[in-house]
Structure 1
Amino acid sequence: MILELDCGNSAIKWRLMDGAGLVVHRGRADDLESLIAQIVDLTEAVSRCRLVSVRGLEQTKSIVDGIRALGVRPEVVTPSAALRGVVNGYDDYSRLGLDRWLALVAAFNRCRAACLVIDIGTAVTVDYVDTSGRHLGGYIAPGLPMLRRLIVKHAASVSLPDLEREALQSNLAPARSTSPAVESGCYLMLRAFLNERLSQADSELGSSYRVFVTGGDAVIMNAHPKVIIAEDLVLDGLALALP
């Protein structure tokens, strides 16, 4: 079995793969302690561990040490200028976030065509890859959690717990109370940003390209006809980086 870990800014996603490449178990943990609790009974079957982290060196080291304490030695992916047919588009390739890099590598290898790769999580990233596998660059913007926190920080009458209990509304008519008004406003801002990036893709990538969306709030793009929701895009890229 292979244990794969995606250590993002807000949570740690993990999955356990069998020898045929099928997902046997998966989960999501808020911190190292809860991760260990979820996987401790599975590690006897683990022969290998792959890990990607966008956290700082100390936090990443803590996670690696925690996994090692279970008798599993993680292999940690590092930046690269090119991988699996994709050329990193940053001036300094080591500065491109590893989650973005692995996601766009996985997307291109899935379709072998021009693609727009969107990750909607704590932050939102948008990246363009042309038909030859050349990364053209991208954008970073706040996701819904960041937008909510920004409102809370500057508006004392709004509380984060109230916002976190609000579901995205299917009816985006003007709200009649503060929490749904904030939630709808943040949602509409994010959706407008993403729709504009999709419009730009025609000029960057031509008329024929794929759109891959991943991340905790990928559902925002569900209704778009071109979108392919790819839940494990970063982990799929991790498997390509450390085959």
Structure 2
Amino acid sequence: MSDWLFDLGNTRLKLAPFDGDGPGAVVAHAHVHEGLDPAWTSTLPPRIEIAWLASVGPPALRAALLQALVPRAARVVEVRVERRMADVVIGYAEPTRLGVDRALALVGARGRTPGWALVVGVGTALTVDLLDAGGRHHGGSIAPSPTLMRAALHARAPQLPPAGGVDGIFGTDTADALAAGCTGAALGLIERSRAAAARLAGTTPAVLMHGGGAAALLDGVDAAVHAPSLVLEGLARLARQPAAAG
């Protein structure tokens, strides 16, 4: 039997086998009609030794996932945020108030770079977290992602299209202007955070981007590294700790 890693978010479920070193081939399943994709179990073996789970998804989806995993896995380990996670020290006054996906992305980033890192998650929300060279989390920020900005504007003003348009600096129609504005707002937060981090660190931090919307912002962030499986990488690093399955 093998161990598997599961990252349950608001829009997708990502899973990968865990070979003891890191995540293997990652498979992502978008949620269907507010439920899990019926095909999500197609890549799983009949039996699992340990199912490592990180969930920020809706309670109903978490319950459905656990209902499927408990009979299949010898053990299910659902990760919770603690002050120290592997070699990362969480900077929140109350660590449990930090989303487990953000915490695990920090652990994953620590495995990629020994220096300062700005960890950017682009999903339903846009999150930015700063990690120093000693593994200490300096906190972060949360904003709507470009997709959520568009959805929120459309909800308040239905004449504004919720998607479409060509991203640029100055749009020449409404859809283009919306794309430019929402993308620009996200990029502005990232660049503002990087500049502040550079002043604090005395050096420019690495920028690691993950999440379903990260690819759309990559070209706008100089020298950013696309790390789409960063949460699973962090989950794997945590699973390697001697006491992790205890």
TM-score by length of 1: 0.86
Aligned to 1:12: 13
State the Cα deviation string for residues 177-236 of structure 1 (Å, max 9, x = none).
x33322222111111221111111112222153221111121213353331211110011
Counterparts of 1:86 and 1:24, CA distance in 2 = 25
Give the 3 Å change call, closer, same or farther, for CA 113–49 of structure 1 in structure 2: same
Counterparts of 2:171 and 2:44, CA distance in 1 = 48
What is the CA-CA distance between 1:71 and the residue it aligns to? 5.3
Write the mapping of 1:23-62 to structure 2, written as runs, cut at 5 A.
23-31=24-32, 34-40=36-42, 42-44=44-46, 46-62=48-64
- Conserved? CA contact 1:222–1:229, under 8 Å: no
Counterparts of 2:212 and 2:75, CA distance in 1 = 28
SS in 2 for 1:186: helix
SS in 1 for 2:46: helix
1:193 to 2:189 alignment: yes
What is the CA-CA distance between 1:149 and the residue it aligns to? 1.3
Write the mapping of 1:137-176 to structure 2, written as runs, cut at 5 A.
137-160=139-162, 163=163, 166=164, 169=167, 171-176=168-173
State the Cα deviation string for residues 98-154 of structure 1 (Å, max 9, x = none).
000000111122212221111111101111111211111110111012101111111
- Conserved? CA contact 2:121–2:127, under 8 Å: yes
Structure 2 counterpart of 1:228, one-letter code:
V
- Conserved? CA contact 1:123–1:141, under 8 Å: yes
State the Cα deviation string for residues 18-38 of structure 1 (Å, max 9, x = none).
466462452223158544413
- Conserved? CA contact 1:51–1:76, under 8 Å: yes
- Conserved? CA contact 1:218–1:229, under 8 Å: yes
Aligned to 1:233: 230
- Where structure 2 has 5 or more consecutive residues not aligned to the other structure, the ranges are 241-246
The structure with more helix, counted as a fraction of residues: 1
State the Cα deviation string for residues 146-175 of structure 1 (Å, max 9, x = none).
101111111121343xx1xx2653x44422
Structure 2 counterpart of 1:54, one-letter code:
V
Aligned to 1:218: 214
Write the mapping of 1:51-200 to structure 2, written as runs, cut at 5 A.
51-70=53-72, 73-160=75-162, 163=163, 166=164, 169=167, 171-176=168-173, 178-200=174-196
- Conserved? CA contact 1:116–1:126, under 8 Å: yes
Counterparts of 1:223 and 1:157, CA distance in 2 = 28
Counterparts of 2:73 and 2:119, CA distance in 1 = 35
Structure 2 counterpart of 1:9, one-letter code:
N
What percent identity do the matched residue pairs reach? Answer: 28
- Conserved? CA contact 1:17–1:24, under 8 Å: no
Counterparts of 2:22 and 2:85, CA distance in 1 = 20
SS in 2 for 1:3: strand
SS in 1 for 2:115: coil
- Conserved? CA contact 2:122–2:213, under 8 Å: yes
TM-score by length of 2: 0.85
State the Cα deviation string for residues 34-64 of structure 1 (Å, max 9, x = none).
4441323533264332110013555423321
Give the 3 Å change call, closer, same or farther, for CA 88–71 of structure 1 in structure 2: closer
Give the 3 Å change call, closer, same or farther, for CA 209–179 of structure 1 in structure 2: closer
- Conserved? CA contact 1:213–1:228, under 8 Å: yes
- Conserved? CA contact 2:207–2:225, under 8 Å: yes
- Where structure 1 has 5 or more consecutive residues not aligned to the other structure, the ranges are none
